[in-house]
Structure 1
């Protein structure tokens, strides 16, 4: 198992110490020295290997400096978690800290790639009642232990199709905060069709984050996100989204898009959104079976890699020119990183995070809704299938074969369990294309940090 990952990007020689997370920008001599050091070669053996390419004194200096970094715990560090992961997961008391409320299993758009099938999730159209939502919040409070900060995401379908219930549940949550010493952070995901001034004003008062769904350029967005009768939605939503983002001071929101086989030049969509004034942007690859005409294919990967590189370089230029923006997939913490559990186990789906259907059923996350074998319980009875929760609780980077020698494992935390299940029928599997793109995004993110630190 490799202890370092080295790569060259945009003129930089970059070395990641995988287990400590330390990043090193090195000269060419050191870049060539490091693999031989990892193999365990002596200084003299390394000199013999490289003396035809570099001066002997430079090689010895590099070896000496790398040895110092090794002694300081910044290079060739060992994985301290692998041997204790079983004990760690067995003894850790997990509490529920977040719910995804499917406030509406209905939608006013007919997006081609929608995993929720126009909001229906393999089932029937339905709106969550206040009573079901109230029981869900009660469940969250009762199962959150001593944790004070809780999160509730209003999701769909399209949540604004059930707006009164959203408002009523926020009011109920605020009442319960005082009674139970809890603090709710409410979030909302919307396609913007029903967005108006009243919704914006309420969200700016009550929502810790809003996700605004838009795919980028007009032709891209309108092709993938039409109304049911075929008309595009771009012209309707963009002015509203721009107003909304400004009303939130370009913070605590993001525009979230999906790119597909039809717009592999997606960096243009990201930059289009930036040119519209948005500062918080996420445009992510579609996850779909390869039988779908819009699915990302293996042969698309080289172009996508080039797009990430081009986007990273343009982001550096814009940041230096004072026109920077955040791109969700290039935002990684290289200083402290998330807590150990999050690094090893990811989003907490099925344990700390649950999805709730309009009729009150619990699933591990929104992407499992409608898959009956993952039905965990309901708001009336609680968790009736703890074995599902336990299985998700044991899912981590060490239970996934594909993660074991992947340099990005502590950044993606093993990837998405739903994607793994849908592609390999195993939550401990992986989605290969997603893994390749994740590795590239981590490399770009590190390179951007390096470039902006100069």
Structure 2
């Protein structure tokens, strides 16, 4: 499968199955388009057939000199010989191993607090309540969760635990005690915990920062960008904005972490479709690690992103990509999560095909110890998997998630982005299609554009280095 696109003056050819990316001249670009149209994906040629070459010459005649067309055909054949163009899908047979493999849990999202001190208007967790009651996780439940993780992690050494909410700092003492407990078990069970934390910053102070810098591998700091944008969507319950209180704390925290191992993470909505300005606002505040995610909400919400917003959003990603390149070249660059693409190695095969591993390798734990496939399924009893006392007992749902991969999703089969997005978010798919193997199509369009921008950025920065 071949995907071709033009971006920022670059003619880019992506061989989807191999992941090979080629920046080519216009004649090769147009010749590849003809070849990929004429050569079925399942019949990868060793050599280009004579009739294919004749058709390429015919279609490009008058547009390019004949010598250039012949040279383009030679270049295409060389890429085929190197297995970097028109390659076969090597992953299809691998997916059947997914169902047979033993389920190993490697990560937990601990809902340490089903409560929050903000009233974010787009919050899927309903200000921390998750369709239920406000609650704080007890130390005893947290211990059982860590014990469950150790017991179900098999021979895997590295384990991940994210303290999530609501707002985790509302249950800070339990967070600290659980980190201490986890560390006390590492040597005994030959495990190493990677703890992370997501916070809105309201309760962030020097003691929390010092502890996090010692124990937390990564910290996510929630901020939606410019003051007026953030305060519209992330107010306190009395309506007052949160920007003025949290930004100085976040700036100090980022510096204490040497501008690494954190993310300032925002959400953009229909109210700020010019979200590139919010990302650049982060950069202007001095932040180096950032992410900006589209809100996912029912279409009846006034802030929900709608299909008619897509053209403007795609343009905004292009605008952000150009400024991203400019600042990198000027020596004042930053990292934007969706533009960070490793074209040389990238994720393992399982990650490429099944993404985050929700429902199998990654589970969410409620304050009372119930297990769900991920934080976005919490409160939906259909997806209740078990609890920290019984373990996973709803094996039917677990097995459904085990087989949730790009080949199980009709929308993914012919999509160039499938090995980059790994089929997208199962929760979003379920919420918009009633199936975890469905698709959230608005999200798909944004993801495809982000991938194209990320590839173009690699080309532009490599071109500058050359």
- Aligned mates of 1:266, 1:98 — CA distance in 2: 31
SS at match of 1:350: coil
2:35 to 34, 37, 43: 37
- Aligned mates of 1:93, 1:22 — CA distance in 2: 32
Task: Please state how far the C-alpha of 1:19 moved relative to its aligned partner.
Answer: 0.5
The CA deviation string for residues 393-433 of structure 1, in whole angstroms up to 9 with x for no partner, is 00000000000000000000000000000001100000000
SS at match of 2:110: strand
- Aligned mates of 2:54, 2:419 — CA distance in 1: 34
In the alignment, what sits opposite 2:74? 64
Task: Please state how far the C-alpha of 1:27 moved relative to its aligned partner.
Answer: 0.4
The CA deviation string for residues 182-208 of structure 1, in whole angstroms up to 9 with x for no partner, is 000000000000000000000000000
- Aligned mates of 1:94, 1:122 — CA distance in 2: 29
Runs of at least 4 residues off by over 3 Å? none
- Aligned mates of 1:198, 1:90 — CA distance in 2: 45
- Aligned mates of 1:346, 1:269 — CA distance in 2: 28
- Aligned mates of 2:93, 2:249 — CA distance in 1: 52
- Aligned mates of 2:14, 2:101 — CA distance in 1: 29
Contact 2:137 2:368 in 1 (8 A): yes
2:60 to 15, 34, 50: 50
1:421 to 430, 453, 462: 430
In the alignment, what sits opposite 2:298? 289
The CA deviation string for residues 229-286 of structure 1, in whole angstroms up to 9 with x for no partner, is 1000000000000000000000000000000000000000000000000000001100
Task: Please state how far the C-alpha of 1:35 moved relative to its aligned partner.
Answer: 1.6
- Aligned mates of 2:248, 2:65 — CA distance in 1: 61
- Aligned mates of 2:351, 2:340 — CA distance in 1: 16
In the alignment, what sits opposite 2:26? 28
In the alignment, what sits opposite 1:9? 7
In the alignment, what sits opposite 2:363? 354
Within-5 A mapping of 1:1-400:
3-38=1-36, 39-40=38-39, 41-86=51-96, 88-400=97-409
In the alignment, what sits opposite 1:438? 447
- Aligned mates of 1:394, 1:81 — CA distance in 2: 14
- Aligned mates of 1:280, 1:163 — CA distance in 2: 24
Aligned length: 451
Contact 2:112 2:164 in 1 (8 A): yes
Identify if the C-alpha distance between structure 1 residues 385 and 6 changes in structure 2 by more than 3 Å, giving closer, same or farther.
Answer: same
Contact 2:99 2:399 in 1 (8 A): no
Task: Please state how far the C-alpha of 1:337 moved relative to its aligned partner.
Answer: 1.4
Structure 1 stretch 155-164 or stretch 332-341: which is displaced more?
332-341
SS at match of 2:150: helix
Unaligned runs of 5+ in 1: none
- Aligned mates of 1:83, 1:162 — CA distance in 2: 46
TM-score, normalised to structure 2, is 0.96
Contact 2:370 2:385 in 1 (8 A): yes
Task: Please state how far the C-alpha of 1:83 moved relative to its aligned partner.
Answer: 3.5
Unaligned runs of 5+ in 2: 40-50
The CA deviation string for residues 27-49 of structure 1, in whole angstroms up to 9 with x for no partner, is 00001100211213521221111
SS at match of 1:277: coil
SS at match of 1:42: helix
- Aligned mates of 1:413, 1:90 — CA distance in 2: 17
SS at match of 1:34: helix
TM-score, normalised to structure 1, is 0.99
- Aligned mates of 2:78, 2:126 — CA distance in 1: 56
Task: Please state how far the C-alpha of 1:384 moved relative to its aligned partner.
Answer: 1.3
SS at match of 1:201: helix
Task: Please state how far the C-alpha of 1:91 moved relative to its aligned partner.
Answer: 2.9
- Aligned mates of 1:381, 1:84 — CA distance in 2: 31
SS at match of 2:328: helix
The CA deviation string for residues 148-193 of structure 1, in whole angstroms up to 9 with x for no partner, is 0000000000000000000000000000101111000000000000
How big is the alpha-carbon RMSD for the aligned residues of Structure 1 and Structure 2? 0.7
The CA deviation string for residues 286-307 of structure 1, in whole angstroms up to 9 with x for no partner, is 0001011000011111110111
SS at match of 1:282: strand
Identify if the C-alpha distance between structure 1 residues 84 and 243 changes in structure 2 by more than 3 Å, giving closer, same or farther.
Answer: closer
